[in-house]
Amino acid sequence: MRNLLSRLLNNPRLWQLALACYWLALFIGSHMPIERIPLSGGTADKFAHVAAFAVLAVIFAITWQVSAGRLMTRHLVWAWVVIALYGALEEVTQPLAGRVASIWDWLADASGAALGLMLFACIRRFGRAQCEV
């Protein structure tokens, strides 16, 4: 059973599928008309942005590492750039769905991406005394 779990967790295709599904769900959720969104504005909305992009960053980093090998600090920086740019693109395209673009939402997205990548680095070093990127 442990061998099967290990093979599943190290399967690049499985992680690529998870990343694609999550990213698509995030895109759809962020482009729904505002009246369908229970969190609009305020602290809860910003927390949702941070959390959603932290999860995206963790899945992105795991997928990249399982597919290509151990990520170095420069890879994590590039991962942050890609995710932060995606967050900006998402904000810019939201008016097409009747929503409002917000620099504060983008800052929450970028912060969530940074948090998720730091979490990834800590998880990777699980069992050691300190977490480094």
pLDDT tens per residue, range 56-113: 999 999 999 999 999 999 999 999 999 999 999 999 999 998 888 999 999 999 999 9
Residue 131 lies inside a defined structural domain of this protein: no
Tell me the pLDDT band of 2, cut-offs 50, 70 and 90: low
What Å distances lie between residue 25 and 21, 52, 88, 123, CA to CA? 6, 10, 17, 24
Q: Tokens 């999860």: give the residue.
A: 55
Residue 132 lies inside a defined structural domain of this protein: no
Residue 56 lies inside a defined structural domain of this protein: yes
Q: Which domain holds residue 90?
A: 2-124
Residue 53 lies inside a defined structural domain of this protein: yes
In single-letter form, the type of residue at position 102 comes to S
- DSSP state letter for 107: H
The count of structural domains within the chain is: 1
Cβ neighbours of residue 68 under 8 Å, at least 6 residues apart? none
Tell me the pLDDT band of 41, cut-offs 50, 70 and 90: low
